[in-house]
Amino acid sequence: MSDLSEIFGPDGWLARCIDGFSQRPQQQEMAEAVAAVLERGGTLICEAGTGTGKTFAYLVPALMSGRKVIVSTGTKNLQDQLFHRDLPLVRKSLAVPVAVALLKGRANYLCLHRMESALFEDHHLTREQREQLPRIREWSSATDSGDIAEMPEVGEDASIWPLVTSTTENCLGTECPSHSKCHLVEARRRAQEADLVVINHHLLCADMALKDGGFGELLPSADCFILDEAHQLPEVAGNFFGMSVSSRQLLDLVRDTLVEYHKEAGDLPKLEEQAERLKKSTRDLRLTFGLEPRRGTWNEIDTNPTIQAGLERLRSELENLGGMLQAMQGRGKGLDSCGERCLALDAGLDQLCDGSDEETIRWFETQRQGFRLNTTPLEIASIFCSRMADQQAAWIFTSATLAVGGKFDHFSRQLGLVDAETHCWSSPFDYPHQSVWYVPKGLPEPNQADYNQRVAELTIPILEASRGRAFLLYTSHRALQEAADYLRERIEYPLLVQGSAPRSELVERFRELGNAVLLGTSSFWEGVDVRGEALSCVVIDKLPFASPGDPVLQARIDALRKRGGNPFMEFQLPQAAIALKQGAGRLIRDEKDRGVLVVCDPRLLSKPYGKVFIRSLPPMTKTQDLDAVRRFFALG
């Protein structure tokens, strides 16, 4: 590999080819560490502060290594940004003939067979779906990739997409009449042939969870895995190493059964009636949980006769439908597939209701109209380690927020990463001059009834000083709504509230307005990049401890306590410190940015554990004086 100083130096290849590129010693040091692990193998865990340029720091050695590399990132949006923006820049600068590919999960690719089925049964569609379907069909004849992200005019959360994309359950595989033209099959073929493949953590963990033997079902084998935004991995892996049955799976089964019945049979009206009974029992079960979306433990199901009765009715109707489909086996590939799905869902419900495995957590969650019944492993470290061991590969885990107080113990313990090499590179930004960290005086403890009101009142003079241009980040939807109601008539700046429009649209409007105030909860704490003066202030209402009522967290706390551990210090505090780093990281995104971070929670200074948060945040100028905040903004 070339001397990396020739690439990252002030007159290096990147500086000559990329406008605005500037040398950062931290970036070159990280690239050298990544190159060394690529060369010799092993595991590297590294934190690279905001502005380090970690993406280039791992892409350059990956492209120069001559090895097969899989790069995984946290979300599909980041995946697209990496593949369509960052990767082409680096490839062009290095002029290396490396074949690259983008691979997503199957729900991101148009399924031609299911699109034709939807057209055949369009009388079941809503008015909006009937308007969108012809546009999708027109696009289907022009697209090469079938990636639904190519159709921004139909939002990725539109209800039409599940009807024209496939799932593991409803895919017909090689039996599909459109298999030879399948976009997913083609995407996987390109990934097999490429030198560098860009995926996301959901696909990585789905592949890990597929079979006891490890990888190979969805992803090609590789010499190195680079996992960006690695702080998200423990939660994503926990979801995939568990099991779930959802109302969406059940209702999809009903819909597909009816479609295939009309296409392949049509002479057994009792099947149609049974499918409708399953649909009704699924919707009735959702109502037994109450109207509010929430998460709860399985104990609530076991002790609630109404929910139990609803679950038993659903299981009975599912079993009856499965029996009918088994009796019709051989009438058509689509109906046979529905019969297999019935059996799989029935087995899943048996497993969920069993409850004999003490190493898993059983819980439920409800959405506005749906539900999901879940099992999640208490610990994922042993599973994750065994899946890593199945691949004789180098592993690199990186993020701007992996360390807690400069140590990686929490992250490495969650994934079972022993004997890993670790590095922590601080941000090149001049935080003491670019930013102020304000902790207000006189606020009550967060558990006091008037806390949200006092925070909302405090926000007014801060927004006057910042002239809007602020993110207000909340740890609960209730606090957000109370703040929105309070501020709506009291500030002169445009108010953008989470839930009033898709996240991407709210962020774009925030950038365009230049003086807006955006209120958001967890989804706005990370993955949002607003540079320049439009975002000059971030206000955080509380230290972001996860809700102790969350069933998965509660089970892990209980398990840690039974083992004689300290759940607060070993799990809750590190998780909250990483979340706070993410929220604070929204503020300074560029060497020219200036801004104020406001953390309202008095526990930051009054509790001994506050030092863990303080050590984890950038070295901003600290103050408890509101006038110092006003002076800082006056200078800008």
Instruction: Let me know if residue 140 belongs to a domain.
Output: yes
Please name every residue paired with 376 in a beta bridge, in sequence order, or none if there are none.
361
Q: Are 161 and 87 found together in one domain?
A: no
Provide the residue count of the chain.
636
* Shared domain check, 444 and 414: no
**Residue 202 counted as domain residue:** yes
DSSP at 110: B
Quick one: tokens of 331?
A: 């009438």
Taking Cα atoms as reference points, which of 579, 535, 580 lies closest to residue 439?
A: 580
State the DSSP code for 11: T
Please check whether residue 212 lies inside any domain of the structure.
yes
pLDDT at 212: 43
Instruction: Give me the pLDDT at residue 331, please.
Output: 85
User: Which residue has tokens 């010499």?
Assistant: 223
pLDDT digits (tens, 9 = 90+) for 320-333: 999 999 998 888 88
Same domain? For 143 and 201 the reply is: no
Residue 294: helix, strand or coil by DSSP?
A: strand
Q: Any residues with CB less than 8 A from the CB of 44 and at least 6 apart, and which?
A: 33, 34, 37, 394, 395, 396, 397, 398, 420, 421, 422, 423
Query: Given pLDDT bands bounded at 50, 70 and 90, which one contains residue 156?
Result: confident
361, part of any domain: yes
Q: In what order do the strands lie in the sheet with 360-366?
A: 243-246, 371-377, 360-366, 294-297
Does residue 407 lie within any of the structural domains?
A: yes
SS3 track for 197-224: EEEEHHHHHHHHHCCCCCCCCCCCCCCE
Could you read off the pLDDT of 429-483 as tens digits, one per residue?
999 999 999 999 999 999 999 999 999 999 999 999 999 999 999 999 999 999 9
The mean predicted confidence, pLDDT, of the chain is 93
For residue range 614-632, list pLDDT tens digits in order.
999 999 999 999 999 999 9
- Domain of 560 in residue numbering reads as 431-635
SS3 call for 136? helix
- From 141, 159, 184, the end of a domain falls on 184
Count of domains forming the chain: 4
> Could you identify the residue written with the tokens 């051989």?
330
Contact call for residues 123 and 95 (beta carbons, < 8 A): no
* 615: CATH: 3.40.50.300
How many Cα atoms within 13 Å fall on the side-chain side of residue 389? 12
Residue at token pair 């058509």: 332
Residues forming a β-bridge with 407: 404
Banded model confidence at residue 20, pLDDT cuts 50, 70, 90 = confident
Q: Which of 26, 38, 105 is nearest to 72 (CA)?
A: 105
Which of 425, 457, 492 corresponds to the end of one domain?
425
Q: Looking at the structure, tell me whether residues 615 and 504 fall in a common domain.
A: yes
Q: Are strands 294-297 and 360-366 parallel, antiparallel or unpaired?
A: antiparallel
Q: Are residues 79 and 204 in the same domain?
A: yes
- Pair (471, 326) in one structural domain: no
What is the DSSP track for 339-385?
HHHHHHHHHHHHHHHH---TTEEEEEEE-SS-EEEEEEES--HHHHH
Which residue, 587, 589, 586, 558, is CA-closest to 571?
558
Tens-digit pLDDT profile for residues 400-439? 999 998 899 999 999 999 999 999 999 999 999 999 999 9
399 and 344 in one domain? no
Among 343, 361, 376, identify where a domain stops: 376
Which pLDDT tens digit goes with each residue over 277-290?
999 999 999 999 99
Report the share of the chain in percent with pLDDT over 90. Answer: 80
What CA–CA distance (Å, rounded) separates 400 from 402?
Answer: 6
The string of pLDDT tens digits covering residues 26-46 is 999 999 999 999 999 999 999
Q: Are both 56 and 204 inside the same structural domain?
A: yes
pLDDT tens digits along 94-146: 998 999 999 999 999 999 999 998 888 777 788 999 999 999 999 999 999 99
Reported pTM:
0.92
Q: How far apart are CA 303 and CA 296, in angstroms?
A: 12
Where residue 1 falls among pLDDT bands split at 50, 70, 90?
A: low
Whether the Cβ atoms of residue 127 and residue 160 lie closer than 8 Å to each other: no
Whole-number Å distance between alpha carbons of 191 and 179: 18
The closest alpha carbon to 355, from 386, 311, 415, belongs to 311
Q: What's the token pair of residue 386?
A: 């065994």
Q: In this structure, what token pair is assigned to residue 219? A: 């992803």
Nearest to 243 by CA among 213, 285, 209, 283: 209
Amino acid at 633: F
The count of C-alpha atoms lying within 13 angstroms of the C-alpha of 344, restricted to the half-sphere facing its C-beta, is 16
Same domain, 155 and 31: no
> How many helical (H) and strand (E) elements, i.e. helices and strands, does the chain have?
29, 18
Q: Are residues 455 and 537 in the same domain?
A: yes
407 shares its domain with 372: no
If DSSP codes are grouped into helix, strand and coil, which group holds residue 621? strand
Indicate whether 213 belongs to any domain. Answer: yes
Farthest CA pair distance, the chain: 79
Mean pLDDT for 252-271 is 86
DSSP string, 48-91: E-TTS-HHHHHHHHHHHS-S-EEEEESSHHHHHHIIIIIHHHHH
Q: Is 89 exposed, middle or buried (0-12, 13-18, 19+ CB in 10 A)?
A: middle
Whether residue 189 is contained in a domain is answered as no
pLDDT grade, residue 249 (50/70/90)? very high
Calculate Rg over the CA atoms of the chain. Answer: 26
Same domain, 441 and 531: yes
Q: How confident is the model at residue 216 (pLDDT cuts 50, 70, 90)?
A: very low
Taking only the tens place, the pLDDT of each residue in 68-95 is 999 999 988 899 999 999 999 999 999 9
- Distances, alpha carbon 406 to alpha carbons 28, 582, 614, in Å: 20, 15, 11
Dihedral sign for Cα atoms in the order 580, 380, 377, 221: positive
Q: Is the dihedral of CA 463, 466, 471, 473 positive or negative?
A: negative
What is residue 2's predicted lDDT score, i.e. its pLDDT?
60
213's tokens:
């033997």
What are the backbone dihedrals phi and psi of residue 268, each rounded to the nearest 5 degrees, phi first?
Answer: -135, 80
Q: Nearest Cα to 262, choosing from 123, 112, 167, 115?
A: 123
Decide if 360 is inside a domain: yes
CA nearest to 600, candidates 543, 526, 554, 520: 543
Give the separation between CA 423 and CA 411, rounded to whole angstroms.
Answer: 13
